Amino acid sequence: MFYPIGILKHFIAKRAMAKSLKDEATEDFLEILLDLMKLTFLIDEGYRQDLKDFIGSYRFKDKDGKVNVLVKFHDGKMEISEDPVPEPNVMVTFKDSNALRRFLLSCKKDILNVILNNEIQVTGNFNYLYKFGFMANHPIQPLLNLENELT
């Protein structure tokens, strides 16, 4: 088919804008999730007790390098930054925001399937990865249960 140049430019611009919004949504999603975890850490004594003696570091990044977040747990605290760390306990590189959401927010975890489908790449200790999955789901579990009941 033949498309006039103006229409092609329009579609290319829309595609670039959609990709930009998707990248921004991924970063916002991760930031909101981590902020929610931090808030839960501050107000939920049980959550805080589960993490009291936990020491670990996580790096989450996307394949394009636009998202690069470090989460550290130590001394009973949770810190979020973009500072580099030589070797985090776990580094998770995800294909896109949907892969990250499926990985972190699924009630029926299937980490192996997400990895086999090349949606995420994991470097480091998988035990830390499972621990983070628990920590990420704890503050939003009631919402996830409600969503699963409705679908």
Structure tokens at 52: 């009291």
Which CATH number describes the domain made up of 27-150? Answer: 3.30.1050.10
Domain ranges of the chain: 27-150
Task: Answer for the pair 103, 94: CB distance below 8 angstroms, yes or no.
Answer: yes
Length of the chain in residues, anyone? 151
The pTM assigned to this predicted structure is 0.70
φ, ψ for residue 136 (rounded to 5)? Answer: -75, -35
Helices 5-43, 97-105: axis angle to 10 degrees equals 30
The tens place of each residue's pLDDT in the chain, 151 residues long, gives 444 554 445 445 445 444 444 444 566 778 888 888 888 888 888 888 888 888 999 999 888 777 888 999 888 888 888 877 678 999 989 887 777 777 776 555 566 677 778 888 889 988 888 788 778 877 777 666 666 677 6
